[in-house]
């Protein structure tokens, strides 16, 4: 047996628009004022707000979203306690969330990861992976003595590399509260503790972002990518990091339109490091430039 839901409407004006009076719980005909329905459930906000900010226009009392990485899905108990105010008149209410030190440590770590990711515009998937890594490290208890901030920073760095969008240690350090050295130490400890690994970074991992931030054309970006790849293939820059090679390749492709300092500020590489890599690459410029890229005679010193 099937049932059809009856349509509510005014018997005198079936096509009239109905007005919902949430305070009284009635549905009223806009033509004659007849109450055609009562005890209407208000599905809107349970309270009013007078804030002008849209973000606070519709507050909810259901609490934060469940977090599967927390032991109790973040559904902790709230205990309210009333205390007399300073004047002794009335009461001031305060609440305390009953949470263990372990849970508090996790939440602080997740917040730190989220704050850092927001500052450098990282995707939600990267944050989620970093949170999972932080939870695994926290449960393994193999990084005792290391600060939460350092562990969170290292987890974010690892997550970026595992998601295929690596960031440099200096980029993570710029939004972190700890030093590059401390992040590097935690990075090694975490890889060992979780028995995981990360893909080796290459010059191509950073080229698009560096060139974009420098405002360079796609032709220069393509040439710099080719120069950096050939320099590695021909073993012209042994022992140099991919980041410094990428920066030197950009400087070579720019042909003096950008200074080593400008490139270094974007790439997070010291100016002297770029010059050292460039001096190794300049004598082999003919072998490094793409055949279809017009270039001048590259100077051997800079």
More confident residue, 106 or 82: 106
Q: Is the pLDDT of residue 264 over 80?
A: yes
Q: Is the pLDDT of residue 288 over 50?
A: yes
Q: How does pLDDT run across 198-238, given as a tens digit for each residue?
A: 888 888 888 999 999 999 999 999 999 999 999 999 999 99
Burial of 174 (0-12, 13-18, 19+ CB in 10 A): middle
- Distance, in Å, from the CA atom of 289 to the CA atom of 297, rounded to the nearest integer, reads 11
- Homologous superfamily of 102-194 in CATH? Cyclin-like (1.10.472.10)
Residue range 204-288, CATH number: 1.10.472.10
Quote the mean pLDDT of the chain: 80
Q: How does pLDDT run across 110-164, given as a tens digit for each residue?
A: 999 999 999 988 999 999 999 999 999 988 888 788 899 999 999 999 999 999 8
**The predicted structure's pLDDT at residue 95:** 45
**The predicted structure's pLDDT at residue 293:** 81
Query: Which residues belong to CATH 1.10.472.10 in the chain?
Result: 102-194, 204-288
């Amino acid at each position: 047996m099937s049932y059809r839901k009856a349509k509510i409407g005014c018997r005198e004006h079936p096509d009239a628009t109905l007005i919902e009076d949430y305070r009284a719980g009635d549905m009223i005909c806009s033509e004659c004022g007849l109450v055609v329905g009562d005890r209407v459930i208000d599905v809107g906000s349970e309270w009013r707000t007078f804030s002008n900010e849209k973000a606070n226009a519709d507050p909810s009392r259901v609490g934060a979203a469940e977090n599967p990485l927390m032991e109790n899905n973040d559904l902790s108990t709230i205990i309210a306690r009333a205390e007399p105010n300073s004047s002794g008149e009335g009461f001031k209410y305060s609440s305390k969330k009953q949470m263990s030190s372990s849970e508090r440590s996790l939440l602080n770590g997740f917040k730190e990861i989220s704050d850092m990711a927001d500052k450098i515009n990282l995707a939600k998937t990267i944050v989620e992976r970093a949170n999972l890594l932080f939870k695994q490290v926290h449960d393994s208890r193999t990084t005792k003595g290391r600060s939460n901030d350092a562990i969170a920073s290292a987890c974010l760095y690892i997550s970026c590399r595992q998601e295929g969008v690596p960031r440099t240690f200096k980029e993570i350090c710029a939004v972190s509260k700890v030093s590059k050295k401390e992040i590097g130490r935690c990075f090694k400890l975490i890889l060992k503790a979780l028995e995981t690994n990360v893909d080796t970074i290459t010059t191509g991992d950073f080229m698009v972002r560096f060139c974009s931030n420098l405002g360079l054309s796609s032709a220069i970006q393509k040439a710099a990518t080719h120069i950096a790849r050939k320099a590695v293939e021909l073993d012209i820059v042994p022992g140099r990091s991919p980041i410094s090679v990428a920066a030197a390749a950009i400087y070579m492709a720019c042909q003096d339109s950008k200074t080593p300092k400008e490139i270094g500020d974007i790439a997070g590489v010291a100016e002297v490091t770029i010059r050292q890599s460039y001096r190794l690459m300049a004598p082999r410029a003919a072998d490094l430039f793409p055949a279809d890229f017009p270039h001048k005679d590259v100077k051997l010193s800079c």
